Structure 1
Amino acid sequence: MNARVDPNDAIIELAASCRFKPKRWSRVAWDWGVGALEKHPGPREWQDDINGVIEAHLANPATRYQPLQIAVASGHGIGKSAEMAMLSNWAMSCFDDAKIVTTANTEGQLRTKTAPEIGKWFRSSITGHWFDTQTMSIKSRDRLHADSWRQDFIPWSEHNTEAFAGLHNEGKIILLLFDEASKIHDKVWEVAEGALTDENTVIIWIVFGNPTRNSGRFRECFRRFRHRWVQRQIDSRTVPGTNKAYLQRLVDDHGEDSDIVKVRVRGQFPAQSAMQFISEADADKARKVHLRKEQYSFAPVILGVDPAWTGDDKLEIMLRQGLYSKSLATIERNDNDVEVANLIARLEDEHQADAVFVDAGYGTGIVSAGQVMGRSWRLIWFSGKSVDEGYLNQRAYMWGQKKKWLKQGGAIDPADEGLYQDIVGPETVARLDGKIQLESKEDMKERGLPSPNKGDALALTFAEPVAKKDRNAGNVHGGAGRGNMAETEYDPLKG
């Protein structure tokens, strides 16, 4: 008499053979071409590509236990949720005690779109009966492993990142998935990186999103941190199943190179986000400007000083002379106004500055110390009234002047990544009266961006018109002679 054959045995054997083969698993775990998948003969080409990247990474023993990070920027409708589902089902089916954490830009997106779509694919897979698919989690039905073999859909909060900090699974597999990654707070990204430290563990971090923003960590996967990420940018028109007529209408209405088409169709980052004040294109152009000294030496030398305003900020001092700019100092927050004033005085003398403008928010003590030294530095109130009624306040006006300066050929140091990020970071605030208002530093931090102190310091150099001083007349410090030059042995730049 033949022993009863358990159909699970064949599935278990198949899953074991696909342990390091997500591409193969995606093809055998669903009934492609049948029922709901009738019009789909298999995974889409771009999905096969991503699965193949993972497969090649795992096939090599030298890379298998090194973290793999993949960033996918795309237009609309390419099947991102399906890809997340296929990878999730592969990891849960082919590894025991798999641990998967999935998040999205909002809890609503996670609860109503991402989690249900992944759950649908789990239920239709050949291992659907192995798992208990709930609203915000998918768990093994094995009671002994239900808490260790699971996928969790976790809303993020920049004020509560413990769920991401505790993502460890040494010796097994970790799959971390970000959906609509453009709008996930930078702090979540930073804490999630802590999951990349387990030894002898398969660690895969994949982030998906429409490239809506020119700042933030998703953008930097394709720019500053591109050496750490495998990147893919996918045009919706190349993907089967997308509405080609609608996509072509977008192209016809807005143009192939418009930001709308770049983001919604081509999977490329915009030249300027919808609310972004200074475009990436203008900042990129400024990085490529090379000036000869005779092109700016005739102009007045102006220093802008933006003191640190919270513990994790830095004091920034920027120099501008005509179309030329340069960072002179970046130091940690220093509450000793006299020491900071001595630094500014030394730089003022060294560069023969014609004017020094200091942010009044945290700079009143610094300017007072400068007055004792005989310096005539100017306090600038960011919230003060703008001389141009088109701007809400002085800060918006100064940034507006800086924007014009960039368009006129202003140059920034191409190696100064901090200044570049500060320039493209701030967004505008919509107003009924039409006046230009920049978001506050607090609002930028809520978006996960640092305070743009260096950008503000450069903006300060546009606070007021400045004439070049007649140094032959001895007017070096706005009325003070060189004898009033500050002397100190303390150098904040060296500690």
Structure 2
Amino acid sequence: MASAANLSKADFKRQVAEDIGAFTHDPLGHTMYAYPWGQAGTELADKTGPREWQGWVMGEIRDHLSNPETRFDPLRIAVASGHGIGKSALIAMLAKWGMDTCVDTRIVVTANTEGQLLTKTGPEIAKWFRLAINNDWFKVNATSIVSTMPGHDKGWRLDLATWSEHNTEAFAGLHNEGKRIILIFDEASGIPPAVWEVALGALTDAGTEIIWLAFGNPTQNTGDFRECFGKNRKLWKTRQIDSRTVEGTNKKYLQEIVDTYGENSDIAKVRVRGMFPSASSMQFIAGDVVEAAAVREISPGLASDPVIFGVDCARFGDDHSTLAIRCGRDARSRPWKRWHHQNSMLVAGDIVLQAQQWHPDAIFVDAGNIGAAIIDRLRQLLPDTPVFEVWFGSTKVRQAMYNGSPTNVFNKRAEIWTNMREWLNGGAIPDDQGLKDDLTNPLYSFGGDDVSIQLERKKDMKKRGLPSPDDGDALAVTFAEPIAPRHVPGYVNPENYGSGGYDPYADL
């Protein structure tokens, strides 16, 4: 760019516009050009450019938009981090690049709370728009930034959108076909499922540059932000950042947090290491327990361990029926089976086929929904196999093992889930994302007596945008009642070890 001293004001503005036009798909180049990095007397006098991780995000955007094969595919980037890494600054730099380099760009920025949006994210964006070399291109308002070009203030703009789970119009109307859309979630862990769901509608415009960015501390181990790094990780480019590795952070203070609470504490994970907590505050089963069970080697077990079928029943809607098979600590080696939108007779017939292969010692069936019909049919077709009905809502006084101690539980469903929770510390489950989500999604509370564990109801989970934990219930059902060890040949029966009177050929 020619020096401002050698150009008239009009020529200088024209030159700036031409220069910025070269950064249409290069946010890092734009950022280095537009701001007074290292210039004395400015707010950036002691800075040489964006931080490394900020440059990584900008590079991902550049590579995506520069490739004709991906340019009009939605680009989704999620970054989970500890404190102080410069998330709001990056949001501001990307917002400025996005609006500078594409006419009629639409940007919507939201955050977990109105306070975060209006007192932190919004002012940071306004600061970087003011610092830019072309700070006269847009007018900064309290909740919006709009083009100063006549006739473009409605379509060339950034909006700070506060959300409500019952009022998501700001996201539902985000369309800009043939141009550019940037959707930014700040402190994304706290943004509810309804907003994430409606935001998906912004990804449908054809021939449009669409960028969806989600940033935040990983404060919750469930929800849509967590799933960017879990079951939806194939859709998102992700990065988890330890604040201690980032330039310009207060590393002494961050290390004090780690030293005080421990490297593997949830506080250190969330506030420093950029890792999701082992469990949210009221999460019933911790994520690390489930992950360990999914990769744990299957122990040999005992020949006398009973084989138990657990059946969770559903008929219509998004729910499905599931058959889980467990033998001692092994719930993995025998394949599970699932049915969608199938009637009770078909499900019962398939279970019988599985029983002929695996010879269960007991079958436990959720008696709700179509379960009663399945139970009757199984008892008819498998007269020699015990088939038990399990009523989740039964509120007889019960106890279950919780952290190694007998604990009161509110109903039968809480009892079987509590027993399963204890078993997971040594059990092996399929490495299946749906099952892992089912096990970690439910929250817990306490019953009316304030001492009995109560598991979150399925209808309350659905209000949070979560599916019914059908696979989790199927495994839990296998813990409904104790089952006696199966008969084994005498030569493998531990009771006969060292018995001088035992005839090893008697079984023959």
Shift of 1:356: 2.5
CA RMSD of aligned residues (A): 3.1
> Does structure 1 retain, via aligned residues, the 8 Å contact 2:375–2:389?
no
**1:21 maps onto 2:26 in alignment:** yes
- Map residues 119-198 of structure 1 onto 2, 5 A cutoff: 119-157=126-164, 161=168, 163-198=170-205
Q: How far apart, CA to CA, are the structure 2 residues paired with 1:359 and 1:115?
A: 51
Higher deviation after alignment, 325-334 or 7-16: 325-334
What does residue 480 of structure 1 align with?
none
Structure 2 unaligned segments of length 5 or more: list them: 1-6, 401-406, 489-508
1:175-207 CA-to-partner distances (Å, cap 9, x unmatched) read 121112223334544443443344443222221
1:427 to 443, 463, 471: 443
Secondary structure at the aligned position of 1:421 is classed as helix
Shift of 1:85: 0.7
What does residue 316 of structure 1 align with?
322
**Identical-pair percentage:** 48
Secondary structure at the aligned position of 1:139 is classed as strand
> Does structure 2 retain, via aligned residues, the 8 Å contact 1:182–1:219?
yes
1:97-136 CA-to-partner distances (Å, cap 9, x unmatched) read 1111222223443334323332332233333322232333
Shift of 1:159: 5.1
Q: How far apart, CA to CA, are the structure 1 residues paired with 2:257 and 2:27?
A: 35
Shift of 1:3: 8.1
**1:332 maps onto 2:340 in alignment:** yes
Secondary structure at the aligned position of 2:14 is classed as helix
Secondary structure at the aligned position of 1:295 is classed as coil
Q: How many residues align?
A: 467
One-letter amino acid of the counterpart of residue 20, structure 1: H
Higher deviation after alignment, 93-102 or 460-469: 460-469
> Does structure 2 retain, via aligned residues, the 8 Å contact 1:361–1:382?
no
What does residue 417 of structure 1 align with?
433
Q: How far apart, CA to CA, are the structure 1 residues paired with 2:69 and 2:368?
A: 54
Higher deviation after alignment, 6-15 or 175-184: 6-15
What does residue 494 of structure 2 align with?
none
What does residue 468 of structure 2 align with?
451
Shift of 1:88: 0.4
1:395 to 389, 409, 413: 413
Shift of 1:287: 1.9
Structure 1 unaligned segments of length 5 or more: list them: 472-495
One-letter amino acid of the counterpart of residue 254, structure 2: L
One-letter amino acid of the counterpart of residue 377, structure 1: F
Q: How far apart, CA to CA, are the structure 2 residues paired with 1:51 and 1:398?
A: 48
> Does structure 2 retain, via aligned residues, the 8 Å contact 1:398–1:459?
yes
One-letter amino acid of the counterpart of residue 25, structure 1: H
Q: Give the TM-score taking structure 1 as reference length.
A: 0.83
> Does structure 2 retain, via aligned residues, the 8 Å contact 1:296–1:324?
no
Shift of 1:368: 6.6
**1:272 maps onto 2:279 in alignment:** yes
> Does structure 1 retain, via aligned residues, the 8 Å contact 2:324–2:471?
yes
Shift of 1:470: 7.1
> Does structure 2 retain, via aligned residues, the 8 Å contact 1:263–1:270?
yes
Secondary structure at the aligned position of 2:460 is classed as helix
> Does structure 1 retain, via aligned residues, the 8 Å contact 2:375–2:387?
no
After superposition, the Cα gap between the structure-2 partners of 1:144 and 1:456, relative to the gap in structure 1 and judged at 3 Å, is same
2:392 to 381, 384, 391: 381
What does residue 31 of structure 1 align with?
36
2:61 to 32, 54, 60: 54
Q: Give the TM-score taking structure 2 as reference length.
A: 0.81
One-letter amino acid of the counterpart of residue 44, structure 1: R
Q: How far apart, CA to CA, are the structure 2 residues paired with 1:90 and 1:129?
A: 14
